[in-house]
Chain A
Amino acid sequence: MQTFNYLRPAHLDELCQALQQPHAKIVAGGTDVLPQMHTGRLQPALLVDISRVSELEGIRIHNTQVEIGALTTFAAIQAHPTLRAAAPALTQAAQWVGAPMTRQRATLGGNLANASPAADAVPPLMIYNAEVTLTSAKGSRSLPLAQFLLGPGQTALQRGEFIQSVRFELPAEDLGSAFLKIGPRRGMTIAIVSAAAAVRLSPEGRLEQVRVAVGASAPTVIRCPQTENLLHGQLPSAELWQSAAQQIAVEISPIDDVRASRAYRRRAAGVLAVRALQAALSQAQEAAQARTV
């Protein structure tokens, strides 16, 4: 591996100070940064290792507010009982990140900072309307995820800033949600297409609070507002799902790449998003039944 200067701050103030230096690259779990450094694709002059900044670690839940520190690993997210019960799309996405060894090291902050259109954590966080808190020596600011992710590998992070945490409102019990992903292999798969969906059922059995996010099908993960509008207030039916799949194919802008063709992605994104919606719906139905019992 090439040479670099190395700093390992132990606290937030030391981290803010380290990031004042030019050309600082942050490393946390190393599962994205180190493969690129091994090949020489990434050659940072200064590597700031944040893995010891304990203030950035952990999942905190106050009332209905969830705050997940940037250093929290996917293994920790996957194992968290409250998230599993109330935000299962995020748990399911965490289960799909890399392989067990990856999940022990890979962090939520790294998944966001890497800004891959295929990032597993992003579709669920988008349907939970998550915000990202960015901190620097000057202070903190919060951005909706859609404003943080600007394009492949591009984020709103400015020089000196780092991701402190991700926050979202813990979904109500009657909101069903799910995440699905298509790839060639169970472990270490970069999504060809991914989708997260949330929905609740009105007392009359109509779809409400419909949220759909699709990954690896546009320069960033995107919400599909036209599909959400199309579904809102409707009674679920085979025809409705078919038109939803068609609407998703229109809303995304996939590309041809080594993993799949644009045409395949258009088709698969619609099918996958509808499956995610149906999984979210059956969960919402269970919640509705539990209420009436």
Chain B
Amino acid sequence: MKPIEITLTVNETTHTLITLPNRTLLDILREDLGLTGAKNGCESGECGACTVLMNGAAVNACLVLAGQADGCTVETIEGLSKSGQLHPIQQAFVDAGAVQCGFCIPGMVMASKALLDHNPQPQEEDIRQALAGNICRCTGYTKIIQAVQMAAEELRHD
């Protein structure tokens, strides 16, 4: 297996890495770049804990090969807060009490960001659809949906 060279921009910083083709975007984020916000849950696209934005769209980082992330722009949960201030979506999750054990939350927040970037005024049904691939084992869905509604409101007033 020959190493490959890839270049990707993560949270506005560009990295060029020599890596192996059997590694995933999630491996690179967590192990090479130390960005452990995206979680390794099911490795099959069922749970959504590894959700990040790739070229603006929410994807399961565990199902993206290193070679497929080459040339891409990636945004992770670590890129959301600016100068010590939580992003409005993060703040809304805190304010709504949407975070229990927290394992699913980075994925929930990034999937919510993908929704709100494209649809600033989502109906409850839109939110449920957008989060259909994110599982919360604490089953805190009601508060999570409220958090997204609060974040949408806050972002509209920004």
Contact = CB atoms under 8 A, between A and B. Distances in A.
A185 B68 CA distance: 29
Interface residues of B, number: 33
B130 interface: yes
Interface of B: 1-2, 4, 20-24, 43-46, 48, 51, 54, 57-60, 62-65, 67-68, 111, 114, 128-130, 132-134
Contacts of A98: 45, 133
A39 B68 CA distance: 20
A79 to B, nearest CB: 10
A39 B62 CA distance: 12
Given A6-B21, A31-B45, A49-B68, A100 B63 contact: no
A188 B130 CA distance: 12
A43 B132 CA distance: 30
Nearest to B114: A100
A101 B24 contact: no
Interface of A: 1-6, 8, 27, 29-31, 34-35, 38-39, 47, 49, 51, 75, 98-102, 104-105, 185-188
B5 to A, nearest CB: 12
A101 B1 contact: no
A30 B68 contact: yes
B90 to A, nearest CB: 20
Contacts of A101: 45, 48, 51, 58-60, 111, 133
A35 B44 contact: yes
Contact of B21 (A47, A75, A186): A47
A227 B45 CA distance: 37
A75 B65 contact: no
Contact of A30 (B46, B64, B111): B64
